[in-house]
Structure 1
């Protein structure tokens, strides 16, 4: 075998550290944030509520004066119908929400927080705010502003 072929066919040793590909790094950070949310949620007594349940309860709480339907949750959180269906069924079984028929269209079901859901919402929001404060404290105010600007730019570009 000639030297030229030998040198081009020699396997290159992998780098010691995986490349910092943006989606992979976002996923790692997301996993760590969810772990922190879980840790803080346990200290607030809301470990039974997943972060997504908390965000949906917050959305329902914020929109309590207007009818909210499953499609609104799908759009707001950019998740598929089947995923939302599973999440809402579990939330209903746990007593956080109810589905009410709408007079104009019996097929539509309005999503409404129960009293238990409202209480969990308050406790969950406290845990989410504590997590947000913790994560924000890891960066300067300018870094937080720039990070949010860039994340929003990615969100709008990928939407």
Structure 2
């Protein structure tokens, strides 16, 4: 089953990339889009690398690489926090806000396309089962 989940994941990423190209986005990754959306929706509070690690269930080294690339592309910048200079808050730039707008359109189009492949009941059941798997995997101690 994990192999089938991976195949579907790859196909969804391809669909996101196709919509992104059609919407005039430069080549990026869906993860960049999701992180930009996360930063956009949490603008009223400080967001740090550890928040991305936790909320996306990805390792520190992976997040470091992703954020460094996003900085080089000009989507985000790291700003020092007055109370602790070691902490760097992640902030969207103007280019990041523009990227957010186009990315959200591409993700919305992909969501509509994928949801349209299933009935409403099937979509509800799929989300229920995916959440069950996610929660079980998060709770596993192995």
Give TM-score scaled by structure 1 length: 0.85
Structure 2 counterpart of 1:42: 21
Could you list the runs of 5+ residues in structure 2 that have no partner in the other structure? none
Q: CA deviation at 1:47?
A: 3.7
Structure 2 counterpart of 1:26: 5
CA distance in 1, matches of 2:65, 2:3: 26
50, 56, 64: which one pairs with 1:77?
56
Q: CA deviation at 1:149?
A: 0.2
Q: CA deviation at 1:114?
A: 0.2
1:64 maps onto 2:43 in alignment: yes
Could you list the runs of 5+ residues in structure 1 that have no partner in the other structure? 1-21
Residue by residue over 1:106-144, the C-alpha shift from the partner in whole angstroms, topping out at 9 and shown as x without a partner, is 110000000100010010000000001000000000000
Number of residue pairs matched by the alignment: 138
Give TM-score scaled by structure 2 length: 0.96
Contact 1:49 1:124 in 2 (8 A): no
CA distance in 1, matches of 2:127, 2:28: 26
Q: CA deviation at 1:157?
A: 0.2
How does 1:1-159 map onto structure 2 within 5 Å?
22-159=1-138
Runs of 4 or more, structure 1, over 3 Å off, are: none
Residue by residue over 1:24-76, the C-alpha shift from the partner in whole angstroms, topping out at 9 and shown as x without a partner, is 11011111111111111100011422100000000000000000000000001
Higher-Rg member (1/2) = 1
